[in-house]
Amino acid sequence: MLDHGSAAVYCIPDGRRSRRGKIIVTRGAADHLTARQLELVLRHERVHLAARHDRLVQRSLALAEALPLLPFFGVAHQEIADLAEMHADDGIGTEDGPELASALLQLAVMTPSRVPSGALAATGGATLARARRLVQPQPPLRRMTTGLIVAAIVGTSAAPALLTAYSGGESGFTHACCSRPALFS
């Protein structure tokens, strides 16, 4: 418990190989959340520690900072951080989703507090979108839909290589723009 008036709950991992760490709760957060909300937020933080989300988030941040001219890595870092938060939210049962959403929104609108570098906060990521997701969870995709999505991704990824291999042989696959007239007959 950190004796501070601002509202924050976050975790700081212990060491590189440990799945343990410290969960910090400020006095402001403890005073404004119900006992049930605080319990759910603490479970959220324990999921972060158990899943080692800090490693994913820190590595993506390192890439984003090392390659600032490639905006992809900055976007990827933000998406990875948001997904880590959603994964920690998913560690809470569906029946407790609305209560966790309420706690997250309360923490987000109370006096915001900066958390230390490397810490993962309960209000990290897109809090409003996460709260909406917790209150109105979407049913999981059916196996057929998942299979079609995977097939589309694999097909799209493999298409350039397949076209190159197919057009490189004596298959007759040519286009008028690619044919060259003989220089010497």
Task: Tell me the per-residue pLDDT of 32-73, one tens digit each, with 9 for 90 and over.
Answer: 999 999 999 999 999 999 999 998 899 999 999 999 999 989
Flag whether 124 is in a domain: yes
pLDDT at 144: 87
Kindly calculate the radius of gyration of the chain based on its CA atoms and give it in whole angstroms.
24
Q: Say how far residue 181 (Cα) sits from the centre of its chain.
A: 54
Collapsed DSSP state (helix, strand, coil) of residue 14:
coil
Q: Are residues 94 and 131 in the same domain?
A: yes
Structure tokens given for 166? 């197919």
In this predicted structure, the answer to whether residue 121 has a pLDDT above a threshold of 70 is no
- Answer yes or no: is 3 within a domain: no
Using CA atoms of 171, 172, 178, 184 in order, give the dihedral in degrees to the nearest 10: 100
pLDDT confidence band for 122 (50 / 70 / 90): low
Task: Measure the CA–CA gap between 60 and 62, rounded to whole angstroms.
Answer: 5
Alpha-carbon torsion, ordered 164, 165, 166, 169, to 10 deg: 110
Q: How far apart are the first and last CA of the chain?
A: 88
| Domain range enclosing 22 | 9-135
Mark whether 20 and 61 lie in a shared domain: yes
Same-domain check for residues 55 and 25: yes
Residues 88, 67 within the same domain = yes
Residues 31 and 14 in one domain: yes
Domain identity same for 71 and 151: no
